[in-house]
Structure 1
Amino acid sequence: MARTISSFTMRHTVIANARAGTVLEAGADAFRKRLEAAFAACGSQAEIRLVPPRDLDDALSLAIEADDAVPVIAGGDGTINRVLPVLIQAGKPVGILPMGTVNVLGRDLGLYGTLEEQVKALCGGAPVEMDVGRVNDRMFHSISGMGFFSLMAREREQARRRFPFSRAVAFAFAATRSILFTRPIAVDLLVGNEHVMVQADAVLVTVNQFDGPDWRRGALDGGLFEVHVLNAGGLYSRAKAALSIASGSWRTAKNLVSFTGSAVTLTRRDKRRGHVTFDGEVERRSGTQSYSLLPRALKVIAARPAGAE
């Protein structure tokens, strides 16, 4: 029996990045209908607004201001990064539907699987508070870094446009170019009171710690950074690093060293501008990068753990 409008008990307003890979692959109309059907199956009437990246802030702000529906932002880690100021100022939980390549934050919130499975988890989810990282004047929700990992982020975006038919091919292409063209960087690293000088292929800073081999955080409000340094080791070392990332065995890499602290300072000793990544978004920056935490600054909706009421 078809569900009627009067039978809906929830309402959601979904602001979706019209340039997200999931939308482009399915087509705008097909994606909208599939998403509406997924929410309807969970007892929610959803309004789907597909907007270009430049209009995401305004569209999300309007959705948050309305009191008759739960606001949802749909997109990859980079999309969530772009709207962080709006999310932090929201004053109420906002739903997230991950539609990117990596979806670090989506996995941490328990939102994975098919689009229908993600919507079901979101509709039955619960509000959580999470820490946000800040680098000078720039915020990020999960990962920031320089060197190999930032080059991977840049190459991945270019590869996705070049190979839209296969994420696996895009990843392999991006990894190959990153392995070949990464150059070691000399970095002064201050984590808490620990000061080290390193020659590294990559430095990665995460908001809270990844648990085990998976790129997944058990706690989003732990109040600390974890810093991973991939010591310089040449092509072979970078190739092993890329393989360990893909296989989930990166925690056991011999040339990877990790630190934890509530504040981090990174300074390139060559004083040159370099690429720094923020949740997959890449910028060229110079000078000292000072990392600080905004404790529990973000309210989002996470899937309830299995068995939770």
Structure 2
Amino acid sequence: MRYTIVANARAGTVLEAGSDTFAARLKAAFAAQGCEARLHLVPPREIDDALSRAIDDHQAVPVLAGGDGTVNGALPVLIRAGRPVGILPMGTVNVLGRDLGLTGTLEQQAVALCGGEAVEMDIGRVGDRLFHSLSGMGFFSLMAREREQARRRFPFSRATAFGVAAMRSILLTRPVLLDITVGGDHRYVEADAVLVTVNCFEGADWRRPRLDGGVFEVHVLNAGGLYSRAKAALSVVSGRWRQSHNLTSFTGEAVTLMRRDKHRGHITFDGEVERRAGPLGYGLLPGALSVIAARARPVAAG
């Protein structure tokens, strides 16, 4: 099996290892599985063109290597592929990578990808803006902005950048006033954060049991200042966030968010931030993307 891998040259994994070391390690990891990997390390602005060429080569499996933001930016190209594509998660959070079972070292990810299977996944959209996992405002959009700044200050330590960004976001978040409509349910809220997820997340590590469930889940962190945000963060780490009194969640096939002040606000899509005026109408593209996931391990007989 041959894989054509288009990698973001600015991805955290590439920067930490160095491009030559990364390329040698990746090719060796795939060769160990009896697979050939052809690597194209390109700057972010060239990813779409390189990925399109990889998709046009039907003799190889196209793979995109990068973080959640890199995958987000390439979604229009990935969806047009019309066949299974691979993801190698190389960012800080790697929400989609965890959902696909592509975790651990580069070698472990190569094992999972070479032995993986195609799954269908839903894609969210706001107008023509696509996202694969998460969209949020309030704390979440501030966190994305702070993380980008911290990455420039600490380019070779993703953990440090993430920690600095999280601390600053907890301290600096200000509540937003929103009208939220999910199906026939309308709510007026003052919230420290609102997060819209494509399908439902579970557990301490926020993984989705299904990528094709056909629903959005909306999470509202009630405005309560620093204490509320700190408690919510602790509940996420402990895995008890579903029981948190500071967090309200509800599901629906369509979502509309409207800022009461009607100003343009920062919105994050898979960690990428932009300013948008409301109302924001969220819709689903069911099963729009076919992507390779790790095969589930068989349960041993008792």
Q: For 1:127, what is the secondary structure of its paired residue?
A: strand
How far 1:143 sits from its partner (Å)?
A: 0.3
Counterpart position of 2:109: 118
Counterpart position of 2:230: 239
| Matched residue count | 299
The 1:242–1:170 alpha-carbon spacing in structure 2 relative to 1, beyond 3 Å, is: farther
Residue 217 of structure 1 aligns to which amino acid in structure 2? R
CA distance in 1, matches of 2:238, 2:27: 35
Residue 102 of structure 2 aligns to which amino acid in structure 1? L
Q: For 1:57, what is the secondary structure of its paired residue?
A: helix
Counterpart position of 2:176: 185
Matched, 1:59 2:44: no
Matched, 1:268 2:255: no
Any unmatched runs of 5+ in structure 2? Answer: none
Counterpart position of 1:141: 132
How far 1:44 sits from its partner (Å)?
A: 0.8
Any unmatched runs of 5+ in structure 1? Answer: 1-9
Matched-pair contact (CA < 8 Å) for 1:14–1:74: yes
2:93 pairs with 93, 102, 106, which one? 102
Counterpart position of 2:241: 250
Matched, 1:26 2:17: yes
CA distance in 1, matches of 2:242, 2:163: 21
Matched, 1:202 2:193: yes
CA distance in 1, matches of 2:96, 2:163: 22
How far 1:251 sits from its partner (Å)?
A: 2.5
Q: For 2:291, what is the secondary structure of its paired residue?
A: strand
CA distance in 2, matches of 1:245, 1:279: 18
CA distance in 1, matches of 2:141, 2:232: 14
Matched, 1:281 2:281: no
Residue 132 of structure 1 aligns to which amino acid in structure 2? I
Q: For 2:101, what is the secondary structure of its paired residue?
A: coil
Calculate the TM-score normalised by the size of structure 2.
0.96
1:72 pairs with 63, 69, 82, which one? 63
CA distance in 1, matches of 2:3, 2:156: 31
How far 1:307 sits from its partner (Å)?
A: 2.2
Matched-pair contact (CA < 8 Å) for 2:12–2:156: no
| Per-residue deviation, residues 91-128 of structure 1 (Å, max 9, x unmatched) | 10000000011111001111001110001100000111
| Per-residue deviation, residues 208-251 of structure 1 (Å, max 9, x unmatched) | 00123331000000000000000100111122233334444432
CA distance in 1, matches of 2:60, 2:249: 42
Counterpart position of 2:160: 169
Residue 294 of structure 1 aligns to which amino acid in structure 2? L
Counterpart position of 1:7: none
Matched-pair contact (CA < 8 Å) for 2:124–2:131: yes
Matched-pair contact (CA < 8 Å) for 2:15–2:156: no
Deviates more, 1:284-293 or 1:157-166: 157-166
CA distance in 1, matches of 2:12, 2:190: 36
The 1:307–1:72 alpha-carbon spacing in structure 2 relative to 1, beyond 3 Å, is: same
Q: For 2:284, what is the secondary structure of its paired residue?
A: strand
Q: Return structure 1 stretches of 4+ with deviation > 6 angstroms.
A: none
CA distance in 2, matches of 1:194, 1:148: 23
Root mean square deviation of aligned Cα: 1.2
Matched-pair contact (CA < 8 Å) for 2:203–2:240: no
Deviates more, 1:51-60 or 1:160-169: 160-169
Residue 154 of structure 1 aligns to which amino acid in structure 2? R
The 1:90–1:294 alpha-carbon spacing in structure 2 relative to 1, beyond 3 Å, is: same
Calculate the TM-score normalised by the size of structure 1.
0.94
Matched-pair contact (CA < 8 Å) for 1:15–1:49: yes
How far 1:174 sits from its partner (Å)?
A: 0.8
Matched, 1:87 2:78: yes
CA distance in 2, matches of 1:243, 1:60: 39
How far 1:62 sits from its partner (Å)?
A: 0.3
| Per-residue deviation, residues 37-69 of structure 1 (Å, max 9, x unmatched) | 000001011111000000100100000000221
